[in-house]
Structure formats: C-alpha cells, structure tokens
Structure 1
Amino acid sequence: MASPPTSEQDSIRNMPGFDCEFLEPPPENLQTDCPVCHQIIREPYQVTCCGNKYCQSCIQAITNNRCPTCNTEGFSNFPDTGHKQSLYGLKVRCSHQKNGCEWTGELRQLNEHLNTDPLPETQLDGCPLTIINCDFHHVGCAVKLPRQDMPEHQRTSFQIHTSLRCRSQQAEIAALTDKVSILESKVTNLEQNRSLETAFNEFTTTFRAEIEAKFKEKLDEENQRSLQTARSDDAPHTTIPFGPPVLTMTNFTQHKEAGDVWLSPPVYTHQGGYKICLAVHANGHDRFTGTHVTVCIRFMRGEFDDSLKWPFCGKIYFRLLDQAKQTEHRSQVANYDYRAEEAVWCCRVTDKEVADKGWSHELDFVAHKKLKPQYLLNDTLLLQVYKVELS
C-alpha cells in the first residue's frame, strides 16, 4: 500500500481510534483498545509509567500531565512501533459494515478503503458508504453524501456548480485586480521616492559646493587680514595674529594605515619670522599610537634666522579646521620657554633643512573616535597655524 500524503498522515495522527470490529478475536496479550477513546488504538504510543498504549492523539491531548490509567504525574510517552506492527496486521471489517459494506482486510488498509480525506483525482475511490464532500466544496457547495450517491448529485447539480465556480472565479479576479492596484500604487510610490532621492542628491551636491566655496573665501579673507596685521606690527614681543594658507593633508587613510609622518609645506610664523612646518602622525605617535592624530612642530632653516632670537620662546597655536559647519575647529597650543629641553629642537637649525625632532610633549591633539566626517571630507585634513605669541 502506498503511503498517504503528508497532510493526510497528519490528519490521521489527529484522529481518535478506529471505529470497527475485528474479523477474529485478537490475541489475549495484545492491547487493542485505547483507555481514553475506547476504540481500536490508532498510532500506538506507550507511557513509561504503567506501560499502557494509547492513540497518539489521545495521549498527547492530556493537559494535566497525569497518566489516564495509573494517575502518575510527570509521565513520558513514545511511539510503540512493535505494537503498531502487531495491531495493524489484524484483520477487521469495514466501519460501515452495519450499513452493508462487506469489505474486510488488515487494519492498516482500513484508511485506504474508507478514503475519508481523498485527493480530487481519487474522490470516487474507496468505500461507497463513506461520507465525503462534494468535489465543488472549494467553491461553496456544502453537500456531503455517501460516496456512492455523489455522482448523481454532481449530475443533477451541474448548473449550481457552474454558477458557484463562476462566482468563485469572479471573486479571484477581483482579488487579483486589488493586488494589481496595490502593486501599481507601490511602483508609483517607488518612482516618486527615486525622483525625490535624485533631487535631494543634486541639492546636497550643490549645497556642499557652495559651502566649500564660501569656506575657502572666508579663509582667504582671514589670511589677508592676518597678513596685513602681521606686516603692520613692529613690536617684537607681542601677540602676533597669523593667517598662512591652509595646509592640506590628502589621503589621510593611506597615511594612517602606513603609520608614516606627513610634513606640511613650510610657513613663517610672521613677517620676517621663524620658518616651521607641521609633522602629522595620522596614526599617532609614542603613547598615542593607534588612538590619536598627533602633531609636532618642527623648525626649519629660514632666511631670517640671523636676525631672530634663539632658542625660540613663545606660543604657537594651530588648529584642525571644521570643513562643514566651520564652527567646531579643534585647537592646540605648543608652549616654548627658556627651560625647554634641547631635545624639543626649538633651537636654530643650521646643518639641516628640517629639525629631526619637534615639540610634541602631550600633544595628543584629537582622538580617532572624535574625527567626525566634518573634519575628513574627501579623506582630507585641513590644518592651520593661526596665531603666534612671542615672549
């Protein structure tokens, strides 16, 4: 006998015991009846407490977790395949024997004979007395008849079934039409969203370009004003505003991964002043390696060195520029005095172009985790020495 479909197997497991009679008395030592439904056991399960067998659906429907026979609490159960093989091999009469069906066979064949949940193509196969649904129940026919009477019903109800089928198809078409309308609406919304996204991207690009242009214009104005102030200031030991061009460090990520040092173009602290450059460690230096961007100030050999005071004494202010908001620049100050160690190289550079070392004591400057996108547009840092105070 071929195995029934999975859905039919699940249906069988959810049914109580078999309602039929044995053709011959079963062996005395073989339990045949379920203590719960009192019918022949379907899909036998054995409990571990007293060893009794039950229908799978009956024992799994117990909610108080007590054995129906011995009242043991917390029992467990398992499929008894050996008992099922012995039980299902016994011969039985059809469940409709009292109504005239003369079929006999093994218990395992009874479901196939009754065909209580047939597929459409096997609708008319099986016991003629089994009550079945009309083949048009899926479109609304609620008639249930013995299998042997179903052909006559289908013959005499042709027009009714045709009407039900048409009505069902119309309902399906209406449902599909609604789904198509919903899909069309979603497509329209997606197209509108794409248009809005395109317009937003164009606006962002234009707005960013305008901001960058205004920022550059503002920096140029500040540089010009600072340079004019520096030229007009003759006092050698006063605060000297300073506005050199912006120092642009490109490919920041590459420098960070390589762990190298980027030297900026040289700048003068003021008109006729000290020549310096910035040494930027993108991945940090010394105890700040891997966590910060550190900056050292290195003195260079300049054209005005002979007329300047050495070692340099004063303060040099520099900053990381906010390229977007232009309001959150991050500043740092290098403070030199006469007590500074010679190792910081604030002295005059004579035999080299750039000092080997620079002032970097505790100049952690800015942590990597605080490098917001506004400081790293296009993977570029903008630095500026914006003020010098001579002591």
Structure 2
Amino acid sequence: MLVPCPSCKELIRATDRDWHNERECPERKLNCRYCKLSFYFPNIKAHDEICPKFPMTCEGCGRKKIAREKFPDHVKTCGRCKVPCRYVAVGCNEMVESDKSQEHENKFLADHLGKVWDYIQHKGKEQCDLVYRMGDLSVQDSTSPLAGSSIDLSKISDIHRQIEILERKSSTFENIVCVLNREVEKTSQATEEFGKQHRAALEKIETLTGKVRQLERTLGQKEVQLAEMETRIQESELSTYDGVFVWKITDYAKKRQDAIIGRCPAMFSPPFYTSKYGYKMCLRIYLNGDGTGRGTHLSLFFVVMRGSSDALLRWPFNQKVTLMLLDQNNREHVIDAFRPDVTSSSFQRPVSEMNIASGCPLFCPLSKLDAKNSYIREDTTFVKVIVDLTGL
C-alpha cells in the first residue's frame, strides 16, 4: 500500500516508511555530527561552513580537529601559521610563519627599506600637490573680486590639516629610515662576522667528522677482534681434546618451548676435538624433533666443523660416533652409535664453517623424557658424545 511521506509528500510503500524517513527523504532532519543541532538535509552542508564545532586543520603545524570557534586562538599561538608581514602598509605582501617573522625582516631588510622610501616619496609628492593647491587657492583669493563669497574656507582648512598630518608622517618615516639604516649596517656587520664563524665551524666539523670516522673504523676492528677473542676463550674453556664431550643444557623447559613455537628449533653445542690438532666437531640438538621426529622425538646430530689443522688430517672422517642422553641416576642412558658413511658430504673435509649434520632424528621419544624425570633434573639435561680414536 502506498502512503504519502508527511515531510516531502512523496508516495512510498508503508513498509519502506522508516527507511525513507532515515535515508531518502529530502526533507528529513539530521543532527550535525559536530555541534549536534538539528537541520533539514538540504541545509546540512551549508551549516558545515559556519558550524562552530567543525574540525579545522592548521596548514602551518598540521594539527587537525581544531574546532572552528577555537581556531583564531590557535593561529595566535601557533608559530607555524602564516601572518602578513608587518611592512604590509608599505607594500610587502609576503605571508610568513609567526616564528620566522624576524628572520624574514632580517633577510628582506633592504627591500623593506626601499618600500618605506618609496612610500615616503609618494606621500611627499602628495604633500607637494597640496602645497600647490594651496598656492592656487591663495592666488584666486587675492585676484578674485568675489573671493570672500566664492572660496569655501572649510576646504582650505581641511587641506591645512592634511598637510600637517603628512608632515608628521613624513617626519616619522624619516626617523624609521634612519633606524633602518642603522639596523642594515649592524646586520651587515653581524652577517659578515657570522659568516667567518660559520666557515671556521664548518672546517672544524669536517676535521672532527674525519676523526670520528677513523675512530669508528678502529672501534669496529677492535670489536671484531674482541668478539673473536671472546669466542676463542669460551671455546677453549668448554672444549675437550680427547673425543669425549658432555654437553650441559640448562633452562630446558624454556628452550623446549622455544623449539615448539619455532623461535629456536635447534641448538649447537660448543666445539670439541679428537686431539689438540685433531678433528673439530660439535653437536646439534632439536628439543622438539626434526624431520621425521618433529613433535614426537628428541633429535640429535653430529657435525664435522672446519678446523685449523684440517690439512694435516685424514679425510673423509671415519671414526665411530656414540651419542648418549644421560640418565642422571646412571642407570638407563639413551644410547645410539653409528659409523660414518664415507661417501656422504657430511664427513668430507669441510669447505664452509661446518658440514651438514648427520645423526639420529628419532634419538629419544619425547614421551619417554616426559614420563621419567631422571633425564631432566633441576631443569637441566646432559648429552654426551664419544668419538672412537682408534686409528688416529
């Protein structure tokens, strides 16, 4: 059924009345979203142009959502808002930021002085014109037989007043010119002195910059050397030289959780050696498993590393390796052993820092670790490796 809209008189379906009143009716009332006053829909845009709560944006400082009624106060305090140069009366039409007015005046002092001089000359010409007009009137006054009745004495009085005003202005501007001349001289001297100081400062900065760069390079070299030295010291403190190494892993619960969430899935042990000048090796462990053992087993691998004496050793590496997860009650160690596949790249002489790891992805079920706490005590577990030295 069609019914007329009470506002715009358009015929609409009764079921669409609410929708029409809220969304379509050209005579519907809306609340201004800023000041909350009600207006008819056709007038809402015009209201935005005068709404005291309408959000304004300062083009100077970029601040947004300043109510229109508060915008004049913001302009007074914002150093970035542009205002007319105070020499606008003599012809400078520049708009400058409030906090840069002094800089503008210093920069264009000579230009301002010229505009003031032009203004004074213009006013002087006006004064001369008035004097000539006074002379003409005086001549007319003395020659005209009807002067007393024809000359408007009030005009003469007005001209006299204008002359006096112009004379005062001329005197004021002459004083201004003198002051500006002195300021120009002071500014010129200050600029010259500043230029000397600036050049000296630039030379000093350039010298200091070169020294800083040199010190940075030296510091970087020292930091690299220090890091290498610290690494060697740590390795020498933790390393063994008999093919047997026990790796103590602390903070087990946290490291296991890091492995589960993928933050740190694998860890490397400190290096160990078969002898002082023998093979360099380390272990790699995945506390949440790797490959086929991911999520179900602890994975343990053996890694051959590049050492300083590799040129003296026999390759490929061919020593039996025994891996152990120690039962801290010394009863039920988890043990696995293997003899290297001499055709595998994992046991050839390393050409990078370390070869591809080789070992046991299914070394120990995680359920076994969780069920028996003798492998993990005080949040610490121990892994042992034994390299058979036979034939070396």
TM over 0.5: no
Q: TM-score, normalised by structure 2?
A: 0.34
Higher helix share: 2
Q: TM-score, normalised by structure 1?
A: 0.35
Larger RCO (CA within 8 A; separation ≥ 6): 1
